Structure formats: structure tokens, C-alpha cells
Amino acid sequence: MSKRRTAVAITVAGVVSAGALAAAMPSQADPAPTATDVVGVGSDIIQNSVDFLGDGYSWSGGSLPGYNAAGNKNRLISFSATADGNGRNSFTDPALGTSVKLNPTIVLRAGTSPVQRPNGGGAGLNALVADGNPTNGGRISFVRSPNKPTSAQSTPTHPLHTIQFADDKQYIATATTTNAPADLSTADLVKIYSGTWTTWGDVAAGVTPGAHTGETIVPLLPQDGAGVQTIFLNALKAANGGTAITLGGAVQKVQQNDPSTITALPDATRKNAIVPFPKGRYELLGAGYFHDPAPVYNSDSPSAALSNAGIKLQTGASNFIADIPYYIVFRESDASSATAWQPGSTLNWVETLFYNADYDPDDPDPGVTPPFVASAAGKAIIESIGLTPLYKDWANTTTG
């Protein structure tokens, strides 16, 4: 029998227009969440969509507010995967010598000590498990991940619940001027990333005899702990008859979803580099959402927008493509909690934001409040950044 739990309606209205992201300004930061705020960590590629769901964004001539704009006592806080809002790792100041990559930390709750910032969906899921349950820690409320938790992460004793709120696509990115053929299939990538094929001459389709056939392929792969790495390797495993590939010695690990992993390479190397890249991040870069952090901040003269210039996605029908599900993972105990989250509401935080068991998107009951991700305002935000809204309950399903 349905619980038929209802809540005080929270209305967030806004204006959506084509190309709205072109002048969007970042709204996320690193606040110190209170004990009753909802805190998320995890995937780099999913972080921007959850940032927008929480805080919205604005541009000249219009705005699209997020959940927190309603002025509720308790907030949705989504921490970036890496130390800056552009989704990249931080480094020591080059003025003090050779730059060294740092291991960024984060204060998950006000008054607690910093901990390592989870970078990627897999790292976020591990952090959620290590964080314990509400009676034993519980500083992390949810995780952004393009992969479901494993059976080792979601156990019968402490089950994790997964919902999908959107879908993205993963393609292969190359330099705009590249020696790579126009078509690289999943089967081709199995041979390239396993080290069986090392030059473009080994890739028969799409290569003109004598043109760059001797050039060495530079296969790049997102860093360990990144959910998009798992998405890519799982696709290669499926194309390899269900057997996981052993990475070849030429494969280099790089920061996920960053065009400079290709564009910053020397010319000869850049033309031979390939890397899995999400369509959603590519479009956000093309829309000018991210800005160059190098200049000193000046609100009267904003820094130049970063872009996807210098790279392109291989999107032809015969090319590699993989779905990137946008999952939110939380404790089953939070989904079933009887504790109301906002004053004046009867819904817990999971029901308010991500999943209400009584809400059926195919047959909505006017007496049941949809979670924010499935509301008209939430779906408008998801669609405006080039994603497909998809409200789907996976319950305690795991990857194995």
C-alpha cells in the first residue's frame, strides 16, 4: 500500500533559453555544510549538473534557479571532485619552483577536520562506505557516480540505493588536426588500448596508405577512481567477449574531462592522441561556462572563457559510443527514514531531492510531491545543459 506522503510544495520557476549557458557564471563554492544540510561528493562529469540543480545559474537577460533558491533552512551541497570549479587538480605555485600536484582536501561538515577530496564516482562510493552509516559518521549524504556501487560496496547489512536522473554520452576525443582515422570502433579501441595496435598503420579502416601510417598512437585514459574510466573499460570488456583487457604500456593516465590533456601536448604528439570524453562536458566547454582561472579576479573584467577549441569528438555512427548514466547513490536507511528534512514538510531529504517511492512519472498523482530532480524545474535545468532527463529507480542493484 502506498504511503502517500505529501509535503509543502516548494516552487522554483525560471526562464530557459537556447544558448543560455554562454554567459552562465559559476555558482558553486566550498561552504561548510551544517549537520542538517545534504552533502554530495564524487564524479567530476556529474558535478556540474548537481551544482546547477542545487544553486542554479544566471546570465544576462534571464536566470534558472536551483533548489536552494527557494530559501529553505537546509541546503543541497555538492562538492566538486577536484580543487577548482573547472574540474582540475590543483598544483603548487610554479613561482616557487617546479609545480607539484597536490592531493586536495575538503571539510565535509562544519567543525570537522579536512579529509581527502573524493575525485571520481568510484572514489566517492568508497568514501561513502568508509564514512559509515548515520550512527557511525555519516558526513557524506550521497555520491554522484556514472556507475552503480559494487556488491562489496552495497551489502545486505548496509545497502546503498541508486537512482538515475539523466543520461550523457561518451565518445573518443582527438585534436582537431589529428592523424587518427575518421572512424574508430570499439573493436579498434580494444586493440589500441591493449597494445596490440601501436601505429595508425595498424588501424586499417580510414587510413590512407602512406599517410601517417608510421605515427605512434598516444592512448590516454582518465585517472584511476574516475567513473568515466570504468564506463570506458567496461565497454572495451564487452567488445572483447566479456574479458577485461590488459592495458598496453603506452596507455597514459590523465585528468578526466580536460581538453588540455590533448591540447597541451607537443604538436607531433597531440595529433596522435585519443581520449574518452563526455559529450556533456564538451558542450559546457563550448558554451563558455568555464572561465580561465589564471588572471587575477576582476568582476568588472571577467577572464576569458575556456572552450573546447582544439579538440573534437568522433560521433559518426561507426565510432565508439557509450552511455554515461548520471546516478545518485545514497544509503537505503536514508531513503526509508521517517525524519522530515525541511520544516513544515513530511518528506525526508531523499524524497525531497532525489527519490520518492510514491511518485510515478508515468502516472503522477497530484497529491504526491515529485523529488526535485523529477520536477519541472529540475528537468528544465537538466535539459538546459544538454542532458536527457531520466528518472529511474535502480533500488539496491549493484554492478556485481
Domains in the chain with CATH codes: 20-168+326-395 (3.40.190.10), 169-323 (3.40.190.10)
Q: What is the pLDDT of residue 266?
A: 95
Taking residue 204's Cβ as centre, other Cβ atoms within 10 Å add up to 11
* Residue type for position 202: D
Looking up cell 575518421 gives 182
Q: Quick check: 171 pLDDT over 90?
A: yes
Cell of 233: 573499460
Residue 277 has, within 13 A of its CA and on its CB side, a CA count of: 27
Return the percentage of the chain with pLDDT > 70, whole number. Answer: 82
What local confidence, expressed as pLDDT, does residue 23 receive?
A: 35
State the pTM of this model. 0.78
Please, are residues 85 and 303 in contact by the beta-carbon 8 Å criterion?
no
9-45: pLDDT as tens digits = 444 443 333 333 333 333 344 567 899 999 999 988 8
Would the pLDDT of 61 be above 70?
A: no
pLDDT tens, residue by residue, 236-290: 999 999 999 999 999 999 988 899 999 999 999 999 999 999 998 898 888 887 7
Q: How far is CA 207 from CA 7, 70, 311, 317, in A?
A: 61, 56, 20, 17
pLDDT digits (tens, 9 = 90+) for 99-117: 677 777 888 888 888 888 8
Beta strands 252-254 and 142-145, pairing class: unpaired
- Using the CB atoms, write b or e for 260-283: b if 16+ within 10 Å: ebbeebeeeebbbbbbbbbbbbbb
Mean pLDDT of the chain: 84
**Residues 6 or more apart whose Cβ sits within 8 Å of residue 285:** 259, 306, 307, 308
Kindly state the cell numbers that stand for 242. Answer: 566479456
Query: Would you state the pLDDT for residue 138?
Result: 80
Name the residue with cell 562536458.
Answer: 281
